[in-house]
Structure 1
Amino acid sequence: MYLILTASKDTYITNKIIDNNFRAKDANVGKAGTLDLFKLYAESISGSNTSPKELSRALIKFDLQPLYNLTASNLDLNASNFEVKLKMYDLLGGQATPSNFNLVVYPLSKSFDEGIGRDVSSFGDLDSCNFITASYATGSTSIWAASGANSSGLLNSQDIDFITSGNLGSEIVDLGSSQNFIKGNENLEVNLTTVVSATMANVLPDHGFRISFSGSEETDNKTRFVKRFASRQSSNQLKVPQLHVSWDDSRIDHHNDFIFNVSGSLFLNNFQRGNRANLVSGSAAAAISGDDCLIIKLQKGEFTQYITASQHSAGTDSTAVAGLYSGSFAVDLHSSKKTNSKINQVLVDLFNHSGSITFDEYWMSLDESVGFYTGSLNIKPARSTSYSNQPSDLHFRFFNLAAEYSHTAVVTLKVFAEDLAIKDKVSKFPYAKKSIILSNVYYRVRDVKTQEIVIPFKTTNNATKLSSDSEGMYFEFRMEAIPADRSYVFELLVKDYGLNQMFENVSANFRVIS
């Protein structure tokens, strides 16, 4: 799964000197189209000080509710493949840009108001937040512990504005994330996985982030003007500040790609009138749920193997998924060869003769008195594939992609794959052509108008990996992950059977509307 959360509020605060007369400490720029970071040295006069320092710091907040909504069904915050990155996009407007500097991001300890100011020239709009005040509500003013939101300390410390480190469970960890800008025009991309995970676990406060030059670069005698990012007020919604959240939610069913001596997984889905529902058994129609609640029986002649299956779980709390069961196991031919059993020898002889074996597959209650599904499972040797040779002319179709979706839509998109190099079998009767199933296929999303990649191929943690079942390949996509009122196209990357092929514009165009 790959989600993009956009900022719910952002601004920057400054103590810039205006006309060598006063500092704009009470200025607000919450509705400005940019987030400007700068440090000025001896560029103005402040009273008798002929070498004053002026600076700005950015503040940004994201609404994490879309992630909270998924922790009970899809998102496991403790999974090693869970990743969160903050991305902010550089804006080049012909202005000078500093080089070879560092920006650091820390979680805020205090909430802030975005405000309605937009004057970034004379900083004449007064509102909170600003360099002195964090927020204002119902006649009560909350000021920064140190002007410029500059008081730092350990988690749970009193009178601090941002948190530099804290004990998140077993040890003190640094909560800062930094990036070096060599040329100065790079985008910001830092990993915030630890901070966001701790925030969603209610260990850290959910107040957003402070972004600034590193400590020494704020205090040295050097001017750095100006590092400019797009704010959430930008007219280009592809460039607003974003949290890119990704994790592996793929489910790989090996019904069509099970091989001997290697562990694979089988899944069983159960629906009642179109909705997921647990299997029931017995006169009391008791729901079948939990661990080791079913038996999978594989049978070929006199050979039988039993496997226990469990209700599939997902989410941070390993919540059981209604109507979904799975079992993982291996059928070990090597072990069979070491026995003198006549039954196992017949199985080995059958394998040597045909190169694969088709077993009868039964999903049953633990006492084998009730059967829920009967099918077959063809198991092949590891050296074989599902095809006569490696796929050489792959073709993909999204056969349930609509032309338009609402921004709140959650869809399961099905992908059909075929190798056009393989000749269709000749038959006097019509038959349904089955999709090729590949183990490692990834999607990405491209904006049709700008041709920019909005969601990339995410192969490092399998966040955009396609799932598979007995019918083909699919993936769940949440339209809220991409900006509304734009058109997009899906593209695919195949990293399978020794291949590393990219398929551009493989789907039809589709539009997301607000």
Structure 2
Amino acid sequence: MAILRYTASADNTITNAYEANLVTRGTGSNMGYADSLEIFSIYGQESGSTGQSQELSRVLIQFPVSAISADRTANTIPASGSVSFYLKMFNAEHPFTLPQDFNLIVAPISQSWNEGTGLDMDEYQDLGFSNWLSASSTTGWTNIGGDYLSQDNYNVRFPEGYEDLEVDVSEVVENWIKGLAGGEYNNYGFGIRLTASQEAYYSSSLGTDSGSIIQNTAGATESYYTKKFFARSSEFFFKRPVIEARWDSRTMDDRENFFFSSSRATATDNLNTLQLYNYGRRGLNNIPAVGTNNILVSFYSSSFGEPTGSKILLQAGGSTVSTGDVNATGSYVSTGIYSCEISLTAASTPLQEIHDVWHSGGVEYFTGSFFPELMPTYDSAPTFDRITSCKNLKKVYSTQDTARFRFFVRDRNWSPTLYTVATANNPTDIVESASFSIHRVTDNLAAIPYGTGSDFSTYLSYDKEGSFFDLDMSLLEADYMYEIRLSYYNDSIGDWQEQPQTFKFRVE
């Protein structure tokens, strides 16, 4: 599972806008319990002795970074550099005007603040908690409107205005994690506001902030009203603001998809990955004498299903240092899993079966086998038409479950022989680039969208049994039916193709 979500632990909207009477500013108002967050800038609704008035609102939002750190300690998420963290906030539709072509600044807050229990900026004041002037009942902001770090700021554009917010905030989250141990800076969350050039203009004769109004001589002389996001208290499960951790958790095992090297292929394409899975009585465990260290892998031809003869000479590349070496150096992947990458050249009479022997310090720990093939070639651009089935789909899952979904893939025009019909485990096509998405059936909402970008968070793993992925059901809202969709990358056309087969299950 390569996605985890951490819902906001506190959020609030703070403002210096006028209340409905257009006389009193709501600087003491607090919206910590509101179900939406609001960002706007109003210019000229009221005028004063120094010109047209300025009315602003900003958002404060904080996330449970200690939970992220605990998951890293438990190896639930990878180390720094192997995982990305995205801030995701979701547009809340409303009946008011919506600005277009504006930018929001996402900046780390530099001091602690209290969320409060207020509901709106006009009628309900929750004095003593965070607002436009104060961070808490005992501490004011150094600067009105909140205090923010100048470094690690993000600028997010909204061309149409109704877009969701999604931005990679990995650097800040990693610094927050370090802050838990006394390094970098503390987690006080993010402040979200319009850019200085889009917040309303105000010029004081003193050249400084005036009361609750921010000095902004480069500001806008037009209004941006109003952008809303769902808050953490929203009833809509998938609309609550989150930090989403994404990483590449794929395991790629070419034991059923091993090809001899070809002069037509690149060095990378000629590499094949093999895995060793050290399962014990209680699941995956590291080999005691190997631990997280490297392990050697040798290869032999086969005679009556057993290794025979001398070790096969290997080609340089991947886990092999030099051409002619007889051992590849396998590496530690994760608990109980070791991996190596090799390329083998076919003889004039290619070997039909090859054995891989994993060993260290004179002890052989595992002997496997695979049946290599020659690299395929085509006299026309291939068009792949496949049928996919899920081998272990259940009707109902609990939100406490982590499920593994396995898929059997074959060509639509597959013509089995008498042997394959009689075989208990028929061969499956290996699709090396496959991605999944999860949709809620009732409204087609993408609970987990395809992640086909650079983070590979929804790519499927594969081994000799076919393609698979793991899913943490706590990511899904209970009491709904969901649908798995699959998309395979077609090199022939250079694009993803969504498959017609879908797989439904319910979460309770």
TM-score, scaled relative to structure 1: 0.80
Q: CA deviation at 1:78?
A: 3.7
Percent identity over the alignment?
25
Distance in 1 between the 2:477 and 2:341 partners? 39
- The answer to whether residue 465 in structure 2 is matched with residue 471 in structure 1 is yes
1:205-238 Cα shifts (integer Å, max 9, x gaps): 2121000010122232322211122212222222
Unaligned runs of 5+ in 1: 150-160, 166-174, 281-286, 314-320, 334-347
Show the 5 A alignment for 1:250-269.
250-261=250-261, 262-269=270-277
1:436 matched residue in structure 2:
429
- Aligned residues of 2:300 and 2:309 also touching (Cα < 8 A): no
Q: 1:65 to 1:505 in 2, by over 3 A?
A: farther
The structure 1 residue matched to 2:339, chosen from 304, 309, 326, is 326
**One-letter code aligned to 2:468:** Y
The structure 2 residue matched to 1:374, chosen from 345, 367, 383, is 367
- Aligned residues of 1:77 and 1:197 also touching (Cα < 8 A): no
Show the 5 A alignment for 1:29-428.
29-44=31-46, 48=49, 51-72=52-73, 73=75, 75-79=77-81, 82-136=83-137, 141-149=138-146, 161-165=147-151, 175-202=152-179, 203-218=184-199, 219=201, 220=219, 221-261=221-261, 262-280=270-288, 287-299=289-301, 302-305=309-312, 306-310=326-330, 312-313=332-333, 321-333=334-346, 348-351=347-350, 357-367=352-362, 370-383=363-376, 392-427=384-419
Distance in 1 between the 2:358 and 2:505 partners? 41
1:362-415 Cα shifts (integer Å, max 9, x gaps): 223332xx4332332222222369xxx968442222222333333343232222
- Aligned residues of 1:289 and 1:310 also touching (Cα < 8 A): no
Q: Which moves more between the two structures, 391-400 or 21-30?
A: 391-400
Distance in 1 between the 2:254 and 2:223 partners? 60
2:213 matched residue in structure 1:
none
- Aligned residues of 1:290 and 1:310 also touching (Cα < 8 A): no
Q: 1:206 to 1:487 in 2, by over 3 A?
A: farther
Q: 1:509 to 1:308 in 2, by over 3 A?
A: same
Q: 1:51 to 1:208 in 2, by over 3 A?
A: same
**One-letter code aligned to 2:188:** H
Q: Which structure shows the bigger proportion of residues in strand conformation?
A: 1
Q: CA deviation at 1:59?
A: 0.7
1:111-141 Cα shifts (integer Å, max 9, x gaps): 22221111344344434111122134xxxx2
- Aligned residues of 2:389 and 2:408 also touching (Cα < 8 A): yes
- Aligned residues of 1:307 and 1:329 also touching (Cα < 8 A): no
Q: 1:90 to 1:375 in 2, by over 3 A?
A: closer
Could you say what secondary structure the match of 1:508 adopts?
Answer: strand
Distance in 1 between the 2:401 and 2:472 partners? 6
Distance in 2 between the 1:74 and 1:252 partners? 19
- Aligned residues of 2:286 and 2:292 also touching (Cα < 8 A): no
Q: CA deviation at 1:45?
A: 5.4
1:462-483 Cα shifts (integer Å, max 9, x gaps): 1111111222221122223334
Distance in 1 between the 2:345 and 2:474 partners? 45
- Aligned residues of 1:32 and 1:120 also touching (Cα < 8 A): no
1:448 matched residue in structure 2:
441
Distance in 2 between the 1:328 and 1:208 partners? 42
TM-score, scaled relative to structure 2: 0.81
Distance in 1 between the 2:278 and 2:429 partners? 24
1:32-87 Cα shifts (integer Å, max 9, x gaps): 121111112221356x566221111101112234533443535334436x333222
Q: 1:22 to 1:204 in 2, by over 3 A?
A: same
Distance in 2 between the 1:2 and 1:504 partners? 25
Q: 1:505 to 1:33 in 2, by over 3 A?
A: farther
- Aligned residues of 1:31 and 1:117 also touching (Cα < 8 A): yes
- The answer to whether residue 492 in structure 2 is matched with residue 493 in structure 1 is no
1:340 matched residue in structure 2:
none
1:402-441 Cα shifts (integer Å, max 9, x gaps): 3333334323222222223111221495532232221111
Q: 1:294 to 1:95 in 2, by over 3 A?
A: same
- Aligned residues of 2:332 and 2:338 also touching (Cα < 8 A): yes
Unaligned runs of 5+ in 2: 202-218, 262-269, 303-307, 313-325
